[in-house]
Structure 1
Amino acid sequence: MTMSKSTQPTARKRIVVKLGGSMLEGLNDTFFANFKRLQEQGNDLLIVHGGGPAINKQLAKNNVVSTALNGIRVTSQEAVHIVQSTLIGQVNPNLVHQLNKAGIKALGLNGYDGNLLTCTFLNKEVYGFVGDITDVNSILLDTLLANGIVPVIACIGCTEDGEALNINGDTVASEVALAMKADSLLLVTDTAGIKIEGEVQSLISPSAIANWMESGDIYGGMIPKVEAALACLTAGIPSVQIVGDQLEGTTILHQEVFA
């Protein structure tokens, strides 16, 4: 029987949750409880994660030097294999295990799985083995979400020839959110939102951020976080939230909303 428009179920919202590597080591029961609550409220959730601290440890263990340029890890051929094995072999399965243990059905993925993240070199001469995403297999992700499974995506992509490439976590989160037509992107950080004069701002505009950066109210480690959020908004994601492990914090909306 065909359902009439008036009786069709409300469309579920899609949210991409980006977990920085520094957050992964400190996830607690509060995070998983709030994550589950978001699901129960009718949201389809996808996770994108990095693994900076774990990668740094393995690079140091193997005496491989790594530098950052413009917020991107310059990745040699030797380094990319370490990044790949650390993210796919250690960080991703550990996170998937924690989610499953908390009663959240999750499946670990990387760019190789089902051609999830097809890439070209961002700029091999400058950044080495760092990827620029050309395609996201949204059909694969749609299938998992339709079956109540949370995709947990490690930031490794591959070329059409199967060469592994490291990808910036914020870039993966943004591209996945755009490909999935996500309603929101949550940047989970060690700070529960943007604080101005000691108070977390719940709803703000890009122009307010620009003013606070100019006045020095936004400073230090919050600067790259808000810059990443603004880049995602510019790319076309409706809203970006900077949140802590409670998954609550500051929501940044397009300027037009405040007009």
Structure 2
Amino acid sequence: MDIIVFKLGGSILAKLPNSFFETLVKVKQDYKCQPVIVHGGGPEITEALNKWNVKSTFVNGLRVTTADVLHVAEMVLSGSLNKQIVANIQRAGGSGIGLSGVDGSLLTTKPLDSKLGFVGEVSSVNNNMLNMVINQDSIPVISPIGIDADGQKYNINADMAAAAIAIALKGKLAFISDVPGVMEEKSSGSYVYPELTKSKIKELIQIGVITGGMIPKVQSALSVLEAGVSEAVILNGCQPADVTQYIQGNPVGTKVVHEEAYYV
């Protein structure tokens, strides 16, 4: 059975139609494809921090996480958002089981950078925990809060968490966005890159075509390939048919591929 890790960013969650979750349930049933969801929640965390007057700052796109910020982030990610996604799956006729990286030490974590506070990177993934959920014919829904051996919890960038899980499960990784892929505006109209290599990604970042939240997506896609995962792709979740087209092997979205694969 093919495993596909779907990374859902916080900015896309509110935009996803019910048909997206219906599509995930259908492809699991019809194509024997096992979805695994990893989700973020940046906008919702920011909203909650503002509501409770908790200050936060960013360094290179990552939120500096104090103990107070971590408390709010865990509440938003592992609480409301995680269960919202589970409910959407079950409303679509499937079975979803919500987990955080803390549950069963699913995501064992170490500090990423002392300047970032309680921001972590994944050092190991508990595959047994995920397989228990998969063997129950359910879709795991994972919030990116991890834990270390001493019981300290960490906020993990969701793209990085999704990449680590895809590597551990030897699955493919699909970044769900609200655009059809990596796009460039040209005189002839919007152009979607069907495939990108590491060198092309570097070039597009330098010239400002790939910016903002798309940068960690393509970088995480590259890290997955370098670790041996077969494929990473950026898909438009607002057009759920794109998910089905991708699983059927049709060209859709932007695939991130090895240099040698591109030139074959």
User: TM-score range with shorter-chain normalisation?
Assistant: 0.7 to 0.9
The letter for the 2-side match of 1:203 is: E
What is the rounded CA distance, in whole Å, between the counterparts of 2:22 and 2:199 in structure 1? 34
Which of 150, 170, 174 does residue 181 from structure 1 map onto?
170
Which of 192, 197, 217 does residue 180 from structure 2 map onto?
192
Which of 234, 253, 259 does residue 257 from structure 2 map onto?
253
Distance 1:228 1:135, change over 3 A: closer
Unaligned runs of at least 5 residues, structure 1: 1-11
1:217, distance to aligned residue in structure 2 (A): 4.4
1:114, distance to aligned residue in structure 2 (A): 1.5
The letter for the 2-side match of 1:132 is: E
What is the rounded CA distance, in whole Å, between the counterparts of 2:135 and 2:200 in structure 1? 38
Q: Does 1:208 align with 2:200?
A: yes
Distance 1:129 1:200, change over 3 A: same
1:230, distance to aligned residue in structure 2 (A): 2.4
The answer to which of 233-242 and 105-114 deviates more is 233-242
Residues 1-259 of structure 1 correspond to what in structure 2 (within 5 A)?
12-39=1-28, 40-123=30-113, 125-182=114-171, 184-196=172-184, 197=186, 198-214=190-206, 216-219=208-211, 222-245=214-237, 246=240, 247=243, 248-259=252-263
What TM-score, normalized by structure 2, do the two folds share? 0.86
What is the rounded CA distance, in whole Å, between the counterparts of 1:222 and 1:164 in structure 2? 27
Unaligned runs of at least 5 residues, structure 2: 244-251
1:132, distance to aligned residue in structure 2 (A): 2.3
1:204, distance to aligned residue in structure 2 (A): 3.6
Tell me which structure has the larger Cα radius of gyration: 1
- Contact 1:84/1:164, CA 8 A, preserved across alignment: no
The letter for the 2-side match of 1:131 is: G
Distance 1:156 1:36, change over 3 A: same
1:202, distance to aligned residue in structure 2 (A): 2.6
**1:174-195 deviation per Cα after TM superposition (whole angstroms, max 9, x unaligned):** 111111111x100111211122
**1:111-166 deviation per Cα after TM superposition (whole angstroms, max 9, x unaligned):** 2212211112223x311111222221101112221221111000111122222211
- Contact 1:18/1:49, CA 8 A, preserved across alignment: yes
The answer to which of 225-234 and 43-52 deviates more is 225-234
Which 4+ residue blocks in structure 1 deviate beyond 6 angstroms?
A: none
**1:63-82 deviation per Cα after TM superposition (whole angstroms, max 9, x unaligned):** 11111112221100111111
What TM-score, normalized by structure 1, do the two folds share? 0.87
- Contact 2:111/2:119, CA 8 A, preserved across alignment: yes
Q: Sequence identity, in percent?
A: 38
What is the rounded CA distance, in whole Å, between the counterparts of 1:217 and 1:132 in structure 2? 27
What is the rounded CA distance, in whole Å, between the counterparts of 1:96 and 1:32 in structure 2? 10
2:161 counterpart SS class: helix
Q: Which residue of 2 aligns with 1:3?
A: none
